[in-house]
Chain A
Amino acid sequence: MKNTDGLLALCLALTPAALREVREEQWRADLRDGPAMGISEESLLLAAARSSTSARFQDVLHRGGTLLSRLQNGGNMKVAFGIAGTTAVLAVGAAAAIQFGHPATTETLDRTPVAFIAVPGPSPDLTPASGLAPVAVEDKRDIRCYYRADLSSEYQIEGSAETPRPPYMRTGIEEVGFNAKANPTPEDPSSGLLQVADPINQCSRIWDSGDMILNGINQGLVPDDFVSPPPGVPAEHTLTEPAKDQNGNPLYADPNIRTFGNYIPVLTECVIDGKVGVIPGTAEVCSELGIPSLAN
């Protein structure tokens, strides 16, 4: 293949430095031996492009371990978008070259799609996601309830030996009668869960239970004059006034289910990683965090 070395160099340029040496030798060995096994050079180069794009994106995401929190800063956002945008452009270029660089070949081209990253390129006027359009989420079975308006911090609970908690608690509605042993889609991590029609109401239930308040971390969300019930004990007033969410909806359709009466902050539905994230804060919190709000 005439341009193999050039395309390989492009893939290597995308690959993080720590992996480059290993990948180069591996890809060169595969390109040398693959055709004899009936595996085309094009398909191997596409695999290299996909691998390098994925590795670069992971590297960008994990560099310093705090990129997501850095995205809240306008200046850092420009840098992050710049890196990711460049990565995307290089990846598109590599794949395009692989796909169209050999019109004379008689082999069937590998049409495996490369996992491109749709990220805008750098812009001198870029501000933190103020113009993000709301995004719809089709699968709303797995809801994330965030402890704070912070997408990346993990929390070590005071006095607890447990591993640090992620920045959110997951919640869903289990299907009554679901038999996990006879699950027809075991590869689906949300098997047995129903679609959540009202994520704010769903997360409000957890806030009401008191499980969302982490001492030493986010109890500052609770107003000083709010009287919280003892842990695990329903407040007296919930006997006559069951807790409701911010929209005035009861937490449970069944009035016999007792609520606890813990503080429920104002919550907003955002979209992160393709899932619904319910975050403490007003309607602007999604854009402040650099993520879209949930489209209704």
Chain B
Amino acid sequence: MENLGRVTPATALVLEALLSADGIWGLQIVKDVGKKPGTVYPILERLEAAGWVKSEWDSTETRKGPRRRYYRLLAEAQPLAREYVATRKAKSAQSAGRPSPALLEGQWLGA
């Protein structure tokens, strides 16, 4: 499992969706996250390439035709994913009502 490096708010939302179920359909994640497929799918592909997520075909589907692709957050990635989600939520709550650090000419407000 590789370090993700930069974790964007959208990535945290995708991780949150993945944490909500053992396996979740890609389009359901798109719906839950409220972002475009062109935002969500590259994140899922990045997570899979980094060894955080495994994708597999829906094995329960009975309909004919192409199968849906499901994504599952691997067990070893779940603690870090929870941490990222919690950090993002805390930051969102903190940032409400305070100026952006960029307004402070390089001086971090939180330091």
Q: Once the chains bind, are A187 and B6 in contact (CB under 8 Å)?
A: yes
Task: Report which of B38, B95, B110 forms a contact with A47, defined as CB distance below 8 A.
Answer: B38
Interface residues of B in 20-39 (CB under 8 A from A): 26-27, 30-31, 36-39
Which of chain B's residues have a CB closer than 8 A to the CB of A188? 6
Q: Which residues from A are CB-within-8-Å of B37?
A: 30, 34, 39, 43-44, 46-47, 110
Taken together as a complex, chains A and B put the C-alpha atoms of A156 and B46 apart, in Å, by: 27
Interface string of A40-52 (1 = CB under 8 A from B): 0001101100110
Known: A114-B38, A186-B91. A33 touches B27 (CB 8 A): yes
Instruction: Give the interface size class of chain B.
Output: 20 to 34
User: A34-B27, A39-B31, A189-B5 are known contacts; what are 8 more A-B pairs with Cβ within 8 Å?
Assistant: A29-B67, A33-B68, A47-B42, A175-B108, A178-B111, A182-B111, A187-B9, A189-B6
Q: Shortest beta-carbon distance, B57 to chain A, in Å?
A: 8
Known: A26-B26, A51-B42, A187-B7. A43 touches B36 (CB 8 A): yes
Please give me the residue from chain A that is nearest to B57 by CB atom: A25
**Residue positions of A touching B, CB distance < 8 A:** 22, 24-26, 28-30, 32-34, 37-39, 43-44, 46-47, 50-51, 54-55, 110, 112, 114-115, 175, 177-179, 182-189, 191-192, 194
Closest chain B CB from A192 CB (angstroms): 8
Query: Which residues of the other chain, A, contact B101 by a CB distance below 8 angstroms?
Result: 184-185
B contact set with A: CB distance below 8 Å: 5-9, 26-27, 30-31, 36-42, 45, 57, 65-69, 87, 91, 94-95, 101, 106, 108-111
Whether A37 touches B31, Cβ cut-off 8 Å, given contacts A32-B65, A187-B7, is: yes
Q: If the complex has contacts A43-B38, A184-B95, are A178 and B65 also in contact, measured as CB distance less than 8 A? A: no
Q: Which residue of A lies closest to B95 (CB)?
A: A184
26 A-B contacts, Cβ less than 8 Å apart? A22-B69, A24-B66, A25-B57, A25-B66, A29-B66, A30-B26, A32-B65, A34-B27, A39-B27, A39-B31, A47-B40, A47-B41, A50-B42, A51-B45, A54-B45, A112-B36, A112-B38, A114-B38, A178-B111, A179-B111, A182-B111, A183-B110, A184-B91, A186-B87, A192-B108, A194-B106
User: With A and B bound together, what is the CA distance between A47 and B27 in angstroms?
Assistant: 11
Minimal beta-carbon separation of A97 from chain B (angstroms): 15
Known A39-B37, A184-B95; contact A30-B27, beta-carbon cutoff 8 A: yes
Ranked 5 nearest A-B pairs via Cβ? A47-B37, A182-B110, A112-B38, A28-B66, A29-B66
In the complex the two chains form, what is the Cα distance from A275 to B35 in whole Å?
29
Q: Distance (Å) between the CB of A158 and the closest chain B CB?
A: 27
Residues on the B chain within 8 Å of A37, using CB = 27, 31
How far is it, in angstroms, between the C-alpha of A193 and the C-alpha of B37 when the chains are bound?
34
For A30, list chain B residues within 8 Å (CB).
26-27, 37, 68
* With A46-B38, A178-B111: A29-B8 Cβ-Cβ less than 8 Å: no
Residue of B nearest to A38 (CB): B31
- Smallest Cβ-Cβ distance to B9: which chain A residue: A187
Q: Please, which residue of chain B has its CB at the minimum distance from the CB of A115?
A: B42
A153, chain B: closest CB distance, angstroms = 21
Across the two chains, which residue of chain A brings its CB closest to B40? A47
CA distance A192 to B108 in the complex (A): 8
In the complex, chain A residues whose CB is within 8 Å of the CB of B26: 26, 30
CB distance from B27 to the nearest CB of A (A): 6
When distances are taken between beta carbons in the complex, the residues of chain B under 8 Å from A54 are: 42, 45
